[in-house]
Structures are given as C-alpha cells and as structure tokens.
Structure 1
Amino acid sequence: MEDYHDLQNQIEGLICRGHLGHYLREPEEATPHHKEPVKRQIDVIFGGPAVGGNSFATRKAYTSSMVEKHPRPEIEPEITFRAEEVEHSHYDDALVISIQVTNARVKRVMVDTGISADILYFDAFRRLGLTERDLTPMASALTGFTGDSISPLGTTALPVTIGEEPRVKTMITTFMVVNLPSAYNIIFG
C-alpha cells in the first residue's frame, strides 16, 4: 500500500508539471480560478546543513524521514496552536511550502514572519526565465541579524498563487532579488 501511495504522489507531481496532460480529460466547466498550466518546476537549488547535512547520503536520509508516505487528505486540516505550545515549542523546523510563481511551481519556499522583506534568490530568478530587464533598481541594502548587509540586485513584482482549488489566493508580490547561496528558493516575510 505504501508503494501505491508513493506512485500516486509521483503521478500527481508529473501532472502538476504538465507531463501527463494529454491523458487528462478537460473539466466540463472551467473554474473561476482557471490558470495557465504549470510550465516548469523549481525544486531545491542548494543543499547544506539546513536540509540534513553536507553529504548526499545524509540529505537523502533526512528527506526520506521528512517525506510523507501517504496521500494528502481531501480536506486540509486547520492548524491551530495553544498558547503554551507556542511559548514552549520543542521544534525548530522552518515552515516550508510550495507555491506557483508566474507559470512555475516553486518548491522550498520558507515562510519567515520575523523578516520584513520577500526575498527571491537569483538562481531561482533565472530559472523562472527572468532577466536583468525584469529588475527595478533599488538603493537600500538588506541587513541580517549578524549586522552584515548586502545590496539586492533589484526588485521584481510577480504573480504568486498559494494553495489549491477550492482555496486559492493569488497576489502580486514584490521580491528583493539577491545573489546569495541558500537552501531555499524564496523567503516570504
């Protein structure tokens, strides 16, 4: 049964990336949120200690331990925390999601409510098919918690879709584009 669920998840991934579209029937009635099909997918662009270690074997073991082996529930559960859970949490895992940016599925998007900027790393920027012409210059710098700073390459405003039908939110997000290595493709502030 576990192999069946793994296969089902792999097939769903291929469908999301548009590889099996010719096997799918068109819906009889278009939904109000009908969008272009996803034309590309951006997975992990950089490894390291944040994703389980420096070697391929340790990252693979970490990923295998973190990946769910069963399909997603049809109704997403609501996530709530009691006050004592928030104050005395024993977990330090980041909230990492996948989103759609323009026409690409982007994985490894970290949600960090402690920062005030939305960051798009340059490697992901290029893999989205964007060029320097898509950047708007900016004069300010980003400063990290250690006091170091970096000048972003510029900003770019892109349509971002979060969620899946029937609960979808699409918005235009202005990202600061930085040329740094990262275990993530995007950081949402």
Structure 2
Amino acid sequence: MGSFACRRLGDVSARGRRGYRYVGSAELKAAVRPGGGGCRIGSAVEFGAWIAGRSAEELAEPFTFVVGVDGALRLAPRRSEHVACAGGGAVLSAGEIGFVREADWWVVGEVSNQSTGYCPDVGSWPDVARALDDVGLVGPAGFTHEVVFRRCPGCQEHNIVREDDFVCVFCGGELPEAWNVDPGV
C-alpha cells in the first residue's frame, strides 16, 4: 500500500474537534446550493455503493472530501470546491483523498488537508481518522501530505507555509507558528 505505516484508524485519541469555517471567496460560497454538497458517507455499505459508481478516470485521481461537523465523511469529484462539498457549512477537516483497491476492499492510499477554502490545520487529522474508521476504511497513520496554512498578521492574506519558511509570500511579513487562519474560531 505504500511506504507509510498502515493501521486501523479507530485508535485515534480525542484530539481535534476544532471546527473550520469557510474562509475562501464570498462569491463562491454564495453560489453554493442550500442542501447541496458532497455525498454523505456514513457506513461501509454507503461507501461501497458510492465507490462502485465511480469511473476509472475518477478513481485515477484523488477526490475532494470534507468531514462535516456531524463527523461524517462527504465525498465529491476532485474538481469540486470544498465549500460545495460541505453544503456551505463548517467542517472538522477538508482536503483531498485517494483510494486504492486492496484484495476485496478499498483502502485510503493518500489523504491531505489541502483545502484553500477552509485551510484546516494538520491537527484536524483525528477527525478524518474517526470518519474513515466509521466507514471501515484503513489507511495511513496521518495525512500523507500535510499543508500548513497561516494568515499574515500584516496584510491578512492566507499563505501556505513551505519548507518551514514562516514568511508571507505577499508582503514578506513574519507568519505565526500557531494556526491563525480564521480569527473568529
């Protein structure tokens, strides 16, 4: 399954539980249909039915995912916006997820917190692990690709921190080490 450690995801601690509001484009959020969103996956049976309906082209790349504040996994095609997948609401985590077939079931091959609309902290992993465990999916021990998001205190722009360089790419200001993207949380 890859070079990362695999384990059952149910043994995750009670960390996490921070909610994330959408911090992206107001126009994009306004375009989200009320009641819309990604496909809610609450069980292995629901996941099995959903994955059976995916084409080979869809399965070749990761999907958009969110973990809603109800703790449920929601999935949508990769080019879907996270805010649309979440139906416009807050989430416990968001990112991209890929599945691979192993023996007679699917496993998580890759998962990231890459969502520039919600900018979830890497500490949101336990909520993802719980949602995957609820569906009966085995996968990595954490995000296979961690994205570090920060808001610049100077210019207020959202940044992706690369190579531990906590400097704003927009104004050159110093970025905080602690997650601060949504000051209202």
Normalised by the length of structure 2, the TM-score is: 0.33
Normalised by the length of structure 1, the TM-score is: 0.33
Tell which structure's C-alpha radius of gyration is larger.
1
